[in-house]
């Protein structure tokens, strides 16, 4: 305990010597086995009208004025003990009447301490928020610089590898033989793959950096439109698409399209090889909140790995069976999280998969 | 006399590939290579190592990389557009990135086109061919007024 306030009135020569010590902040109470401590441990007023012989006394530091009568009062803010008020050496000692008489002042002191503490906590909170904000801004700036460097510098060497593999093929292809040509094709396709991964990474990082403006989105119309595009891009597979009408949501317009494109492209990819592929878009009631889903009857997945589905570059299927960058569902998760929503998946190997997402509406959480 | 193509490119690999791509589609214009932004401006304004060059001979097209040593591509572009001798010369930004910000800033500074260098050489050669055909053959530049 530190002495926060001390009165100077009615002091003797001897007690006045305590004052500079208090001002310097050196007046501290560290022992709980003392009259002051007894107030803290019992959380109740302590009256000691024969202080020198009181069993609760803890002795006085050298130079301390003699203590004949003592009254210690706990200061409560609610149930929290925020301080102790100590009085000493009133002629005639202290009684319950003194306690009653002092009650308004004790309450006022407790309120002042509590208010000062909450103001300090608020200031500390604001300073902490400011510090975190600065750190976040710095991290964002670093991320932007990093992405810029990735966009510019990482593709150039790939262009070199790919380009010169092609030069070799064009100028010396006739001398290489079948194995040699195959090696060149491997170099070529690997460079292409890495270029795609870099692009995927960049678009993923762009997702989290772009400005966001949620507005009303007609999910049914958007899903049907994206479905038509996917059908056109995969003419060799007929996938039946069923979209529930009047699915509506609050989403950033651009991000909503990316979200639906990724979910539907994912469903298309895993369903298109089954005999009658079907993709369904609808809504369910998720514990009173509305959630949307995209369901397919495709390859499905093992629920044991459900948590890996949304991590970038994590794949549950071989790249040969189901090609892709491993970024689609990570993109979906980021978009949903940026809107404060939740995304989850259910599936079974060979029996299709369902991806759910819920987005809080404006004004609710 | 055929006008030159000014290629502003610091990466020697990209330089070789670009020149090869032009060769493949029979673009025979001389390609002048500037390896950083400052060198590009020296060439255009006949300063530094290009003192004495006739500045009325402007390139048919400038192929400009964005990430360059010394002065970056956007700064080079800004100075090209700020000078009456070069303000109408076609500038095609030819770079690795397709970051929205790069594209937007290039156009706002007066780029005529923005082309992302493809990783695939066949696509790269095709892009070079298209660029060459368009800017060297189809495009009618304004007559130099002097």
**Considering only alpha carbons, which residue of chain A is nearest residue B119?**
A159
pLDDT at A273: 81
User: Strand, coil or helix: what is A50?
Assistant: coil
Q: How confident is the model at residue B44 (pLDDT cuts 50, 70, 90)?
A: very high
Q: Do A152 and B17 touch (CB under 8 A)?
A: no
Task: Share the mean pLDDT of chain A.
Answer: 85
Domain at B5-138, CATH homologous superfamily: Response regulator (3.40.50.2300)
What distance in Å separates the CA atoms of residue B71 and residue B63, rounded to the nearest whole number? 15
The lowest-confidence range among A75-79, A201-205, B9-13 is: A201-205
Q: How confident is the model at residue B28 (pLDDT cuts 50, 70, 90)?
A: confident
User: Strand, coil or helix: what is B7?
Assistant: strand
What distance in Å separates the CA atoms of residue A44 and residue A337, rounded to the nearest whole number? 51
**Mean pLDDT across the stretch A30-57?**
86
CA B106 to each of CA A131, B74, B78, B99: distance values in angstroms, whole numbers, following the listed order: 35, 6, 9, 11
Q: Is B145 exposed, middle or buried (0-12, 13-18, 19+ CB in 10 A)?
A: exposed
**Mean pLDDT across the stretch A210-228?**
90
Q: Is the pLDDT of residue A189 over 90?
A: no
pLDDT at B63: 95
Q: How confident is the model at residue B67 (pLDDT cuts 50, 70, 90)?
A: confident
What distance in Å separates the CA atoms of residue A252 and residue A335, rounded to the nearest whole number? 9
pLDDT at A22: 67
Tokens at residue B142, please?
């304004």
Please report residues of B whose CB lies closer than 8 A to that of A192: 119-120
Please report residues of B whose CB lies closer than 8 A to that of A148: 97, 99
Q: Do A152 and B121 touch (CB under 8 A)?
A: no
pTM of the model: 0.61
Q: Which residues pair with B62 in a beta bridge?
A: B6, B91
pLDDT at A146: 82
Tokens at residue A83, please?
């301080």
Q: Is the pLDDT of residue A20 over 90?
A: no
Q: How confident is the model at residue A363 (pLDDT cuts 50, 70, 90)?
A: low
Q: Which residue has the higher pLDDT, A298 or B91?
A: B91
Please choose, from the candidates A6, A38, A34, the residue with its C-alpha nearest in 3D space to the C-alpha of residue A19: A6
Letter string b/e over residues A61-86, b meaning 16 or more CB atoms within 10 A of that residue's CB? eeeebebebbbbbbbbbeeeebbbbb
Q: Do B121 and A166 touch (CB under 8 A)?
A: yes
Rounded to a whole number of angstroms, the distance from the CA of A2 to the nearest CA of chain B is: 58
Per-residue DSSP letter, A353: E
Q: Which residue has the higher pLDDT, A64 or A256?
A: A256
State percent of chain B over pLDDT 90: 56
Per-residue DSSP letter, A363: T
Which residues are CB-contacts of A137 (< 8 A; sequence separation ≥ 6)?
Answer: none
Provide the terminal-to-terminal Cα distance of chain A, rounded to the nearest Å: 43
Q: Is the pLDDT of residue A137 over 90?
A: no
**Mean pLDDT across the stretch B119-143?**
85
Q: Is the pLDDT of residue A365 over 70?
A: no
Q: Do A148 and B99 touch (CB under 8 A)?
A: yes
pLDDT at A25: 65
**For chain B, which residues make up each domain, given as ranges?**
5-138
Q: Do B20 and A192 touch (CB under 8 A)?
A: no
Q: Which residue has the higher pLDDT, A348 or B41?
A: B41
Residue A357 near residue A291, CB atoms below 8 Å: yes
pLDDT at A34: 85
Rounded to a whole number of angstroms, the distance from the CA of A204 to the nearest CA of chain B is: 12
Which positions 64-93 of A are in contact with B (Cβ < 8 Å)? none
pLDDT at A362: 66
Q: Is the pLDDT of residue A61 over 80?
A: no
Q: Is the pLDDT of residue A26 over 70?
A: no
């Amino acid at each position: 305990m530190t002495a926060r306030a001390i009165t100077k009135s009615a002091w003797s020569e001897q007690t006045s010597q305590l004052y500079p010590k208090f001002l310097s902040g050196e007046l501290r109470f560290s022992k709980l086995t003392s009259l002051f401590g007894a107030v803290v441990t019992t959380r109740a007023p302590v009256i000691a009208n024969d202080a020198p012989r009181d069993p609760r006394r803890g002795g006085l530091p050298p130079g301390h004025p003699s203590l004949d009568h003592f009254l210690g009062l706990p200061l409560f803010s609610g149930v929290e003990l925020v301080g102790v008020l100590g009085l000493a050496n009133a002629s005639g000692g202290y009684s319950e009447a003194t306690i009653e008489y002092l009650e308004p002042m004790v309450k006022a002191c407790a309120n002042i301490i509590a208010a000062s503490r909450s103001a300090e906590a608020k200031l500390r909170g604001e300073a902490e928020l400011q510090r975190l904000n600065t750190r976040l801004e710095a991290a964002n700036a670093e991320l932007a610089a990093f992405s810029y460097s990735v966009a510019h510098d990482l593709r150039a060497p790939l262009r070199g590898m790919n380009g010169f593999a092609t030069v070799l093929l064009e100028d010396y292809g006739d001398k290489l033989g079948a194995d040699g040509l195959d090696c060149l094709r491997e170099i070529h396709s690997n460079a292409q793959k890495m270029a795609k991964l870099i692009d995927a990474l960049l678009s993923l990082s762009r997702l989290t950096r772009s400005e966001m403006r949620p507005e009303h989105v007609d999910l049914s119309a958007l899903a049907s439109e994206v479905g038509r595009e996917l059908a056109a891009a995969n003419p060799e597979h007929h996938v039946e698409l069923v979209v529930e009408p009047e699915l509506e949501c609050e989403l950033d317009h651009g991000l909503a399209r990316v979200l639906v494109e990724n979910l539907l492209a994912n469903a298309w990819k895993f369903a298109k090889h089954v005999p009658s592929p079907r993709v369904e878009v609808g809504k369910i009631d998720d514990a009173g909140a509305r959630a949307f889903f995209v369901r397919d009857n495709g390859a499905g997945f093992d629920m044991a790995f459900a948590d890996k589905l949304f991590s970038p570059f994590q794949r549950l299927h071989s790249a040969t069976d189901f090609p892709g960058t491993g970024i689609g569902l990570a993109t979906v998760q980021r978009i949903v999280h940026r809107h404060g929503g939740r995304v989850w998946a259910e599936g079974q190997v060979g029996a299709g998969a369902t991806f759910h997402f819920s987005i809080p509406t404006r004004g609710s959480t | 006399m055929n006008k030159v193509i000014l290629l502003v490119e610091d990466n020697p690999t990209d330089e070789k590939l670009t020149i090869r791509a032009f060769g493949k589609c029979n673009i025979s214009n001389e390609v002048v290579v500037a390896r950083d932004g400052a060198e590009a401006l020296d060439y255009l304004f006949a300063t530094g190592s290009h003192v004495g060059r006739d500045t009325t001979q402007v390139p048919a097209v400038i192929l400009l990389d964005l990430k360059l040593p010394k002065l970056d591509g956007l700064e080079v572009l800004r100075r090209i557009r700020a000078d009456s001798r070069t303000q109408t010369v076609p500038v095609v930004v030819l770079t690795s990135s397709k970051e929205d910000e790069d594209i937007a800033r290039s156009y706002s500074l007066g780029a005529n086109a923005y082309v992302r260098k493809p990783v695939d050489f066949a696509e790269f050669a095709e892009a070079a061919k298209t660029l060459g055909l368009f800017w060297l053959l189809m495009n009618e530049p304004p007559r130099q007024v002097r």
